[in-house]
Structure 1
Amino acid sequence: MTAGYSGTPLAKKLNLRDGLRVWFDGMPESVQDEIGEYALELIFVAGPEEGPDASHIFVTERAAMEPKLAALREHMARDGHVWVSWPKKASNVRTDITEDTIREVCLPMGLVDTKVCAVDEVWSGLKLVIRKELR
């Protein structure tokens, strides 16, 4: 199964590959199932404090997003990444988050965005990495 309109499998769009230490928070079951179809050997960690290589958080409120991003920034692998997904406007899911809101929060933390993608019909995702000079 492919995500969005590109025909690219979701796991590939999200830069997931065998052996990555991952942490997913709030990920809808349908998204988990789609990633599972790619049959990757991922190592799941319990939380940000375990230093994941790749994380993906699904958020609808800025107040909930900020502490999660702060914890991820503190513990994520230097060459790791985190995806932040928020509801698309067309989804009619109540949210106070936009792509710009994520940037307002992440840039002062030393995180920069490198990619955006359609995760599914409801969620958009923004990929964040540690600013190059801070790695």
Structure 2
Amino acid sequence: MAGYSGTPLPQKIGIKDGLVVFLDNAPAALELVGTHARLPKQFDVALTFHTARATLTRRLPVLHARMSTAGMVWVCWPKKASKVHTDLDESFVREYGLSLGIVDVKVAAIDEVWSGLKFVRRLRDR
């Protein structure tokens, strides 16, 4: 499946064979083969989709706790151009992730509606 930019989404977001991938609250249109629909004890890659600060601030600490040492969490929120109602933006997502001790290393367009910010553990915490 080619992503919004023409690059296949798995390649764009770092999904490789053998990784444990979790989709959290994903839109119905998003299809990624070989993903978990239920939160595993530990994952390598998670994509979590939110439209509200309240749900993000409840969920991201849980995901952070289950992320493998070299794992990543993509926090996704609606783009402003999508016209989907949200109180999230890139600045809030970044600041909240940093407050949990994870760092953002990449931003990507997931599709026409969703933007994503990739978070990983700080090098000293791996």
| Per-residue deviation, residues 67-123 of structure 1 (Å, max 9, x unmatched) | 211011112101000101100000000001001111121101111111111111100
Secondary structure at 2:43 match in 1: coil
Q: TM-score of the superposition, structure 2-length normalised? A: 0.92
What's the offset of the Cα at 1:43? Answer: 5.6
What's the offset of the Cα at 1:45? Answer: 6.4
Aligned to 2:106: 115
Name stretches of at least 5 consecutive residues in structure 2 with no aligned partner: none
Dislocated runs of 4+, deviation >4 Å:
none
Aligned residues: 126
Root mean square deviation, CA, Å: 1.5
Q: In the alignment, residue 9 of structure 2 is paired with which amino acid?
A: L
What's the offset of the Cα at 1:127? Answer: 0.6
Name stretches of at least 5 consecutive residues in structure 1 with no aligned partner: 37-41
Q: Does residue 31 of structure 2 align to residue 2 of structure 1?
A: no
Q: In the alignment, residue 124 of structure 1 is paired with which amino acid?
A: S
Q: How does 1:4-23 map to 2 (within 5 A)?
A: 4-5=4-5, 7-23=6-22
What is the identity percentage for the equivalent residue pairs of Structure 1 and Structure 2?
44
Check conservation: 1:22, 1:45, Cα contact below 8 A.
no
Aligned to 1:132: 123
Structure number with the higher helix fraction is: 1
What's the offset of the Cα at 1:15? Answer: 0.7
> How far, CA to CA, are the matches of 1:92 and 1:45 in structure 2?
27
Aligned to 1:44: 36
